[in-house]
Chain A
Amino acid sequence: MTDTNHPSRPDLPTLPIIENFSRRAAIKGGFATLGAAAFVAAISPLRHAAQNTSAGEFMQNHYTELTPEQKADVIARLEEEAKEKYGAEVTIGDDRPIPGTKFVYAINLSVCNGNGKCVEACHKENNHDRATNQSYIRVIEMPKGTMDMEQGSTTYTGAVPKDDKFYLPVQCQQCDEPPCVDVCPVKATWKEDDGIVVVDYNWCIGCRYCEAACPYHARRFNWKQPEVPAEEVNPDQSYLSNRIRPVGVVEKCTYCLHRTRRGKLPACLEACPTGARVFGNILDPESNIRWLLENKRVYILKEELGTKPAFFYYFD
């Protein structure tokens, strides 16, 4: 066991630094120390959690630790759950990064008029809660002359664009130095080889550190079980993206990996009526996104923070 309290170094922080797959470890530890029954009795809320999430879910390994057989079991269980809870036949894929691919997104702010079709498309594509109109995108109405997103408003309505404003859609920037990943105490969120920052919803403990750490307000917390009518459920799903999330976990834009890792464009891009959005593989020298980065003057948000977004903005 690692001594994280540094008794010999009083200048160092004394809180335990938990940097492994500790949800699993907690269970293993509990069983080893107390025996199963005593462990469960000792921490009785866990019994509710176990009943709430099903024993299978609670005992499930971290995504990156699952064998192909375990993954297949987990996915079958989740598909079954979708049927039971939502009455929807869904297919949950396990889409992996395409070798030689790093996804990058860009938005032309001269063209974006703030109409919000992207917000709606994301909502539908990702099986978000209908009652709250949840979405991974916020479009911020900004006073002209600043890129400081804190000066904008998301609650504008009516006819757009307004003369003295421009519109700044913000979603996960798939940072190369993602603070959200750094702060996760159980490694339920990480960056994949194609640059997409993902969340294992079955591993997330809902502590919301990542949500607080994200300077782009790109993460969402599921306060309630999403409500989606069966006929509106998008059945094309992936384990790490748009499968219907359990309550009490954090979620975020995944560049629609269930689409983009199958070669398709993201849902928000297809929905954009003004053609403001550009998506592609930055490692491909012939790609649109490469041309754009080489030929337009691009901006990133909050550059000074050093998060290195894989998301660009430009004017033309």
Chain B
Amino acid sequence: MTRRATPLLARAARAIALMVVAAAALPGCRPSDGEARHAHPAPPAPASVAAYQVNIRRPSGPPLIELAGADPQGRAASVACSTCHSVRKPNLENKTAASLDEFHQGLTVNHGALACYACHSPDNADTLRLADGTTVEYVDVMTLCSQCHSKQAESFAHGAHGGMNGFWDLSRGPQTKNNCIDCHDPHAPKYPKMVVDFKPHDRFLDASEEPHDRH
């Protein structure tokens, strides 16, 4: 079927169209492109007041600890931090996972030289605390992170740190932004390595291959 003519042929045809014009350029065929370009009015400028907002995702609340094993009904169980921590005296000497002998073993603690109670509240295990002792709810974890990472927090506030989705134009729709712990494990905040799984079949710029862009 002729619709499947080769690209080369189509290009040749178009090139001929181009050459013909050199001989057949007509007067008056040059458009005033400035006018033509604006012939169709665009929708009106967005209202300057933002009708929508930037929603920052939040954790749902204090984390729950999955218990090893099941309850008598065979269900896996999870408990709040305070379940154990309200009856155990906080040990401020615990600074690494290595010194934990009963629970939380195998926990990765790779967040600078911080000890557990630098961020977790010794008085109420279902909350966090700032360096000055102020209590911070788990859902407000970004307040805690920001006390040390103020540069990142500033960039975050201006959309220059952290992923986002939705609208850049808040007069047309909302935007959703990740919070710190969506991307960073608070106990080991270094962003994990990733594996590249999608590649254009494109040999460009690779010296070991043919130096032409094939696609």
Is B46 within 8 A of A98, CB to CB? yes
* In the assembled complex, A119 has its CB within 8 A of some CB on chain B: yes
Is the interface on chain A under 10, 10 to 19, 20 to 34, or 35 or more residues? Answer: 35 or more
Which residues from B are CB-within-8-Å of A43?
A: 13, 16, 20
Is A22 within 8 A of B14, CB to CB? no
CB distance from A115 to the nearest CB of B (A): 4
Measured CA separation A297–B194 after assembly (Å)? 27
Interface positions of B from 4 to 31, Cβ below 8 Å from A: 4-5, 7, 9-18, 20-27, 29-31
Is B26 within 8 A of A265, CB to CB? no
Q: Which of B45, B46, B168, B199 has the most CB of A within 10 A?
A: B168
* In the assembled complex, B159 has its CB within 8 A of some CB on chain A: yes
Is B202 within 8 A of A281, CB to CB? no
**CB < 8 Å neighbour of A138 from B21, B26, B196, B205:** B205
CB distance from A287 to the nearest CB of B (A): 8
* In the assembled complex, B92 has its CB within 8 A of some CB on chain A: no
Task: Say whether, besides A119-B198, A155-B209, A316-B155, A265 and B18 are in contact (CB < 8 Å).
Answer: no
Is the interface on chain B under 10, 10 to 19, 20 to 34, or 35 or more residues? Answer: 35 or more
Which residues from B are CB-within-8-Å of A270?
A: 163-166
Is A99 within 8 A of B42, CB to CB? yes
Binding site for B on A (CB under 8 A): 1-2, 16, 18-30, 32-33, 43, 45-46, 48-53, 62, 64-65, 67-68, 71, 94, 96-101, 106, 108, 111, 113-117, 119-120, 123, 129, 131-135, 138, 140, 149-150, 152-161, 185-187, 190, 192-193, 205-207, 211, 217, 220-224, 247-248, 260, 262-265, 269-270, 272-275, 278-281, 288-289, 291-292, 295-296, 316
Show 16 A/B contacts (Cβ-Cβ < 8 Å), sorted by A.
Answer: A1-B27, A16-B22, A20-B25, A26-B18, A48-B5, A53-B10, A65-B31, A100-B45, A116-B198, A119-B199, A157-B196, A205-B15, A207-B15, A247-B10, A262-B172, A278-B159
